[in-house]
Chain A
Amino acid sequence: MPGLALLTAPIALFAAEGEGGGGLQFPPVENLVIWPDWFLADTPFAFNKIAFMSLVAFVVPVILFLIAGRKAKAVPTGLQNVMESSLDFIEVQVIKPAIGPDGMRYLPMLMSMFFFIWIGNLFEIIPTAHMPANARMANPLMLAIVAWVMFIGVGVKHHGLGYFKEALFPPGVPKALYLLVTPIELLSTFIIRPFSLAVRLFANMLAGHILLVTFSVLCITLWGFQILNIVNLLSFPMLVAFTGFEFMVAFLQAFIFSLLTAVYIGGALHPAH
C-alpha cells in the first residue's frame, strides 16, 4: 500500500533523527503490571501506589459522609446538600428502576460501591497519580465477587434453595428445552455475570489509561521536532478532550457497575421478571 508507506515515512524520519533512540518511545508494559512496594514489601500486606489509591477511595467518602451527617439539619446546606443529592441520585437512577421501592435497604452497599469505584477511577486524570486504581484486575474482581455473593445471598435468603431452581429452570419453558436452557442459564448467571462485571470495569479503565498515555507520548515526541510541532495543535487538544472524556467514563463506569449490581439483586429478589 503506497499510502501507508507515505504515512509511515515521517515516523521512520523520527527514528533516524531523534536523540537517544528516537521515535515514539512508549513506556514498557511492565509499568502497568509491576508496581514497586512502598513498605511491607514481600508480605501479603505489601503496600504500593494502587493500594494507597484504593485506601484513599475508601477513606474519602467515609470522611465526607461523616462530616455531612454529623450536624444534619432538616434543611440541608453545603456539604450535606451535596451528599444528600448523591444519595438521591443512587435512589432515583439506580434503585428505583432496577430493584423497585423495596430495594432501599441495599442503598448503603450500592452507595459505598459507587463512591469507591468513582474515586478510584478519578485517579486516572488526577495529576501525579495518573493511574486508575481499578485498572488492576484485583479491585474489579473483588467488587464483582462482592456483587456475586450479594445477589446469590439475596436470592437464597428470600426464596431459599428455590432460587436456584427458578434461576436454572425458568418456568414456562417446555420440558425438553431444559436440556438447552439450563446449561446456558448456569453459565450466564453464575459464571459470566461476575466475570463480565469485573472485566467491563477493568478493561474500560485500562483502555482509557492507555489512550491517555498514547496521546501524551505523541505530544511529548512531537515537542522535540521543530516543524512537526505544528501537529501538536491537533494532538494536544485531543489529549485535553480525552481527559475530559475519561472524566465522564470514570463516572459512567461507577454508575454502570452499581446499576448492574442493583439489576442482579433485583433479579434475585423478584425472579418472576
Chain B
Amino acid sequence: MSALSNAAAQVIAQAGETGAVDPAAAKATAGAGSAGFAYGLAAIGPGIGIGYLVGQAVQAMARQPESAGQVQTTMFLGIAFTEALALIGFVVFILLKFV
C-alpha cells in the first residue's frame, strides 16, 4: 500500500510544480497500484477453494477407486466454477491496468 501512496504522492507533487493534476497520469498510477491488489485478493479465495476441492476429490478416489471417473468429472466441474472468480479477478486486473 505504501508504494501506491508514494506513487500517488509523486503525481500530486508533480501537479504542485506544474499547477494542475494530470487526470490520466493519476488514473494510470492508481490503476497500476490497485491492479496488483485486485488480482492478489481475487486469487486467495479460489486458491483455498480449489485446494480443498481437489484434496477431497483425491480422498474420494482413494477410498473408492471404482468411482474415480465420476469423481474426476465432478471435480473438473467444481474447479471450473471455483476458478471463474480468480479469472474474473484477472480480467479486472487487465481492465485496471490497461483500460
Annotate B65-99 by CB proximity to A: 1 below 8 A, 0 otherwise. 00001100110110110011001101100100010
Query: CA separation between A223 and B91, bound complex, in Å?
Result: 31
Interface class of chain A by DSSP: helix
Does B73 contact A199, Cβ atoms closer than 8 Å? no
Interface: A107 (CB within 8 A): no
A123 to chain B, nearest CB (A): 20
Interface: A263 (CB within 8 A): yes
Question: Residues of A within 8 Å of B, CB-based: how many?
Answer: 18
Among A59-67, A114-122, A253-261, the one that faces the other chain is A253-261
Contacts of B87 in A (CB 8 A): 199-200, 203-204, 207
Does A256 contact B91, Cβ atoms closer than 8 Å? no
Contacts of A260 in B (CB 8 A): 77, 80
Which partner residue on chain A sits nearest B87 by CB separation?
A203
Near B by CB (< 8 A), chain A positions 97-122 give 97-98
Query: CA separation between A255 and B77, bound complex, in Å?
Result: 10
Q: Given A203-B91, A207-B90, does the pair A259, B83 have CB atoms closer than 8 Å?
A: no
Q: Given A29-B98, A97-B70, A203-B91, does the pair A259, B84 have CB atoms closer than 8 Å?
A: no
Q: Which residues of A contact B (CB under 8 A)?
A: 29, 93, 97-98, 196, 199-200, 202-204, 206-207, 252, 255-256, 259-260, 263
